[in-house]
Amino acid sequence: MKVVVVGGGLAGITAAVALAQGDADVTLLEAKPRLGGATMSFTRDDLVIDTGQHVFLRCCTAYRGLLDRLGMGAHAPLQPRFDVTVVSPQRRARLKRGRVPAPLHMLPALLRYPFLSYPERTRLSRAALGFRGLKLADPATDEQRLGDWLAARGQDERTRRTLWDLFFISTLNVPGDDGSLALAGKVAQTGLLGDADAADIGVPALSLGELHGAAAERLLGKLGATVRLNTKVAAIEAKGPNEFAVQIGRTAEGEDILSADAVVLAVPHEAAARLIPPGALPAETVDGWAGLGAAPIVNVHVIYDRKVMDVPFAAAVDSPVQWVFDRTRISGMHARGDDGQYLAISLSAADEYVDVPAAALREQFVPALAELFPAAREATVTEFFVTRERRATFRQVPGTARLRPQAATDLPGLTLAGSWTDTGWPDTMEGAVRSGLSAVIALREQADNEDAVSELTNEQVNTVDSVREVRS
């Protein structure tokens, strides 16, 4: 069966690999010059720069499964135990899980958390118990604003800013109070209150370009799939059930038309709305995707002439800095003869920063780092630059669950993938991989002959089944 996958991000990579492993004739089309989508790398002055500072948790089983299939699992190690250094201009703390069963595994660390008063710490259990009892599949849950729900459970402004924001701003990419309660509840139930080791953090030891894009291109080549980069799709025409014409933008030879028995449309929701053929979904459904919007992430890159941070990453409170990562080794900085340290600040929900000039960001964030890390006060900044992801995620606010489509469409042979689709997860790498698997499952369910689409491994099928269980 000939399948065209449109979009080479994590969702498209996942779908293409699963289909190729099932002996489908797969062609993966990507408009950019490399695979990886929002998780790719580029070079700047002999440094390897990731488009964003992406981490994952042990509970991200679908993403970890993809890394294993790409042969990259060993290059994305997990902490033996959840362990985060939290810094402020006045002090530092450490959130580290204990060696006790869930849900008590985080209790000792929270009871010692110095950024909250004792009464504030004692009230944390009200929110934790509330999260455990949430019905995530109830549409009313998604209609609630996270900040209002937390405040009703005794979580004051200080508690929300210095604790809950550490987890929810980076995963929902909107100001902490503004997030969808259903998506925040998914983070809390699965990562913070699930298995004791669910929130252990994984940080890639290679650049994202190597970890995802280059590895996927190698594997797909071995599986016999075709990967076409710098290839923008202009239109998708449905000629009949399981019969599609995929039009590539003009080339030197004119228009290029690919015939396919099935198409996986794995692009952002704005592009999907333009490309999806008539009859695939009701027009009002497709028009509704515009309501998902977009939220930016800004990354501030600071290179010093010496080491200033003594941990691989840290979260910040009482500071404009949110999370900061040591990128020295991954970037290849020392290989170019530079003995300093390269730090990258990741700013989620970055509407206030996305249009600020780099010079103004330097004036704000270099002093902010010096407040958090005393060694930076004596160090010299040798390089400073900013990268901006203006449409990093959809805007994960109340009311978006009803706008996120499932993988299957009304046209047999056409499915949707992307972290913006109805995965039950926030717009994350895990959500993207799950969406790719769901798209392949939907193709299999649509096909008259299931063997013609893909025979997924048991591990892959179980992962997709767990997506469905979110709604049960």
For 282-323, the pLDDT digits (tens) are 999 999 999 999 999 999 999 999 999 999 999 999 999 999
Report the range of poorest mean pLDDT among 104-108, 419-423, 450-454.
450-454
Hey, is 205 helix, strand or coil? Answer: coil
pLDDT exceeds 90 at position 471: no
pLDDT exceeds 60 at position 458: no
Give the length of the chain: 472
* pLDDT of the residue at 251: 57
Owner of token pair 């030891």: 205
pLDDT exceeds 80 at position 95: yes
Residue ranges covered by each domain of the chain = 2-37+208-291+397-469, 103-192, 295-393
Hey, is 60 helix, strand or coil? Answer: coil
Burial class from Cβ neighbours inside 10 Å (0-12, 13-18, 19+) for residue 357 reads exposed
The encoded tokens of residue 35 equal 């695979």
Distance CA 358, CA 4 (A): 40
Architecture of domain 295-393: Alpha-Beta Complex (3.90)
The rounded radius of gyration (Å) of the Cα atoms in the chain is 22
Tell me which range, 24-38, 94-108, 449-463, is most confidently predicted by mean pLDDT.
Answer: 24-38
Distance CA 48, CA 258 (A): 35
* pLDDT of the residue at 468: 45
For 411-442, the pLDDT digits (tens) are 999 999 999 999 999 999 999 999 999 999 99
| pLDDT bucket at 102, cuts 50 / 70 / 90 | confident
Phi-psi region of 81 (alpha: psi -120 to 50; beta: other; left: phi over 0): beta
Burial class from Cβ neighbours inside 10 Å (0-12, 13-18, 19+) for residue 104 reads exposed
For 146-173, the pLDDT digits (tens) are 999 999 999 999 999 999 999 999 999 9
Number of helices and strands in the chain (H, E): 18, 19
For 122-151, the pLDDT digits (tens) are 999 999 999 999 999 999 999 999 999 999
Q: What is the mean pLDDT of the chain?
A: 93
The encoded tokens of residue 191 equal 């990562």
* pLDDT of the residue at 186: 97
Per the CB < 8 A criterion, the answer to whether 231 and 273 are in contact is: no
pLDDT exceeds 90 at position 99: no
Distance CA 211, CA 64 (A): 12
Owner of token pair 């509970």: 59
DSSP for residue 154: T
* pLDDT of the residue at 467: 44
Distance CA 402, CA 139 (A): 8
Residue type, 142: D
Hey, is 423 helix, strand or coil? Answer: coil
CATH topology of domain 2-37+208-291+397-469: FAD/NAD(P)-binding domain (3.50.50)
Distance CA 471, CA 139 (A): 11
Distance CA 472, CA 468 (A): 7
For residue 56, which of 66, 47, 46 has the smallest C-alpha distance? 66
For residue 96, which of 235, 223, 227, 196 has the smallest C-alpha distance? 196
Q: What Cα–Cα distance (Å) separates residue 127 from each residue in 2, 153, 158, 403?
A: 50, 6, 14, 27
| pLDDT bucket at 98, cuts 50 / 70 / 90 | confident
Contacts of residue 404, defined as CB under 8 A and 6 or more positions apart, other chains included, come to 292, 420, 421, 422, 423
Question: Which is more confidently placed, 470 or 177?
Answer: 177
Global pTM reads 0.93
| pLDDT bucket at 450, cuts 50 / 70 / 90 | very low
Q: Maximum Cα–Cα distance for the chain, whole Å?
A: 71
Contacts of residue 16, defined as CB under 8 A and 6 or more positions apart, other chains included, come to 5, 8, 26, 28, 216, 220, 225, 264
Residue type, 174: V
